[in-house]
Amino acid sequence: MTVTSRTERVEAPDGGRFDAHAFVPEEARQQGAVPGILLLQEIYGVGDFLRAKSTLLAGLGYAVLCPDVFWRVERNVSLAHDDAGLEEGYGYMSRFAEIPREVTTGDLVAALAHLRSMPEVGGSERGGAGPARPVAVMGYCLGGRLAYEVAVAGDPDACVSYYGSGIAAELDLAERISCPTLFQFGGSDPFIPREDS
């Protein structure tokens, strides 16, 4: 399946605008709407890892949208998956953590709504045909926790969290989730204690 990519602009609840990278199966334009995935980054930003996952998922028939999570700190972060990238990513993460949670989660719920509005997902206001297809939120590490927070605050049709850091401290919010949710943790993850997974 042929995959095309483009950059979308998402409007945040407070009027700011940020980039989100869309990866869509070209066939969706001819065959109608496809399901969507809001794919959330690790602390490395939207780099090679996330682009490869997005291309893979789009090749399987999904419209994928990767928002620039750190945009309020630094726009379009894309770091290598190495020690230097990890150290720099921790710097962005500490500044990101200073932003009120309702603001950062609001940005991602807006990105979820933007994904739903894309024509490939059937968003009628953007020229899509037919009813909108289901959309899920999925993320890795930081993105895994953020996917959980989007499921708490928003209305995805499903949530998949890969090694979401910090979820154990927010389990009291789980009762607000109304969609199927899948958590995956590694048994030997050096960053998430086994009792938190």
- For the segment 167-171, the average pLDDT, to the nearest whole number, is 83
Position 191 scores a pLDDT of: 64
Query: Residues 53-76: pLDDT tens digits?
Result: 999 999 999 999 999 999 999 999
How many Cβ atoms sit within 10 Å of the Cβ of residue 80? 14
> Total domain count for the chain?
1
Q: Where do runs of H (alpha helix) occur along the chain?
A: 28-31, 48-59, 83-96, 101-117, 142-153
Give the structural domain span for 30: 3-196
What is the widest separation between alpha-carbon atoms in the chain?
Answer: 48
**Quick one: tokens of 143?**
């993105």
> Is pLDDT at 21 greater than 90 in this prediction?
yes
The conformational region for residue 141 under phi > 0 = left, psi -120 to 50 = alpha, else beta, is: left
At 125-138, the pLDDT tens digits run 444 455 668 999 99
The torsion region of residue 79 among left (phi > 0), alpha (psi -120 to 50) and beta comes to beta
pLDDT at 167: 84
The 10s digit of each residue's pLDDT in 72-110 is: 999 999 999 999 999 999 999 999 999 999 999 999 999
Indicate the pLDDT class of residue 30, thresholds 50, 70 and 90.
low
Take residue 162 and report the two structure tokens written for it.
Answer: 């890969």
Question: Does 18 score more than 70 pLDDT?
Answer: yes
Identify the CATH number of the domain in which residue 150 sits.
3.40.50.1820
54: nearest Cα among 99, 21, 102, 17? 21
- Provide the mean pLDDT of the chain: 89
* pLDDT computed for residue 126 by the predictor: 45
Q: 0.85 exceeded by the pTM?
A: yes
